[in-house]
Chain A
């Protein structure tokens, strides 16, 4: 269905983990944005992710956790290799993300990455970007990549629980159509409503579209189904429980039409046509 081969867009990671200093911490509603100095890493591709832990005080929370590092997509990259800045956007949902949300400027993290594949942008089609909740992070990164290209115009749709969470989309200057579940801003309902309208309008005007989405499993599944019905190519940035991020533990598998695959090395971006469903056990929150 898709004219591009999704899966092999990747920038390789330096071997091992490295120290990276938190440069600033900002709060956007319930979300936290960490900007980190990654002096030792290459420029990643939108959709790729990092494994993060704090250099000190990792552990000792709920049940003594966290112990393993946590997977986070980068939301924005600035500067040049040797002097790179990475933005991470996170929501404190458990001991790992809570500890990261408590970070202060000047504190050291240990990071490894970039891991996984990035989105494969098909510039021959109008990109429709869809973000749900904290899935905003890689969508901001993709929007940044698109804005660096000449003459490619795109649409972005953002669905959040409430207006407070939408503050993050504004903070990153993402021009978007909003939907909130509580109706406090934009369309009252799920982001898949404006997506259906956008796809139908595109079809009527003969505009070929391609969808790029990240968000909770139920949203990704609704997006996948909408696109499948309309034969619109879709790439989904998915989540699953990850221990390592580089293919070592076999913990992060998701079922696809070709059997289980490790989301950390063969994803996190998957072509919708490879999935029977994006509702995956152990993913999201």
Chain B
């Protein structure tokens, strides 16, 4: 399949900030690369300056998901380019880099630096992290003591948002929010998403990406098979 001119093996990618492929390689070894769970790898959001992130505790569990207040810890642009980019380039999937600027100028500076790096297939612009204050907020309203909700709790709302967005815009969309299985991914694709991102489910199942791709294929085969009456 194709997404924004990029050839992808299937429509499942990771949500930014929900998979550190370099840490996973350390933990799982070679099997992580030979069974790579995503069609493209989305990096954790990077910012111009290095950020330590929020003090712990950073996580709260809900019955159907979680709340996080991580605060975008990252090495900053310079060390991302010198340390992480060469390592990401060796992953067996195209690299999408998530970036955030605290002002339009800052965003421009990041994109200028990264624009002609061959290692990068696409950029994802983070406009709405609930856990840091930026001048670019589009989505949620940041406040002291707030956090980002993720997991099955947000699935119905996410599905409705993706459906509405797909009706209004012509650009390809990545749908996400509470995807736990192939059925949930199929629902997002059905309302107009071009790709589906898996986030929190990775925490419960490190190979969730592979499982969901398999379940999606099985659903497709079922749909193609002649229906019994």
Contacts and interface: CB of A to CB of B under 8 A. Distances in A.
Majority SS of interface residues in chain A? loop
Contact of B151 (A13, A60, A67, A280): A67
Interface in A46-70: 53, 59-60, 63-69
B81 interface: no
Interface string B43-82: 0100000001101111101111110101001000000000
Given A241-B56, A248-B19, A12 B27 contact: yes
Interface string A268-281: 00000000000011
A183 interface: no
Contacts of B17: 249-250
A282 interface: yes
B59 A59 contact: no
A246 B29 contact: no
Contacts, number: 130
Given A65-B61, A67-B63, A249-B203, A280 B28 contact: no
A17 B206 contact: yes
Nearest to B34: A15
B20 A64 contact: no
Contacts of B58: 241, 250-251, 253, 282
A16 interface: yes
Contacts of B68: 249, 251
B32 A259 contact: no
Interface string A221-249: 00000000000000000001101101111
A12 B29 contact: yes
A281 B27 CA distance: 25
A252 B27 CA distance: 16
A252 B210 CA distance: 25
B204 A16 contact: no
Contacts of B24: 246-248
Interface string B194-229: 000000101111110010000000000000000000
A246 B23 contact: yes
A244 B64 CA distance: 16
Nearest to B14: A248
B93 to A, nearest CB: 15
Given A59-B63, A254-B56, A16 B70 contact: no
- CB-based closest 6 A-B pairs: A64-B63, A247-B23, A16-B207, A282-B57, A251-B59, A244-B203
Interface of A: 10, 12-17, 53, 59-60, 63-69, 110, 112, 115, 240-241, 243-244, 246-255, 259-260, 262, 265, 280-282
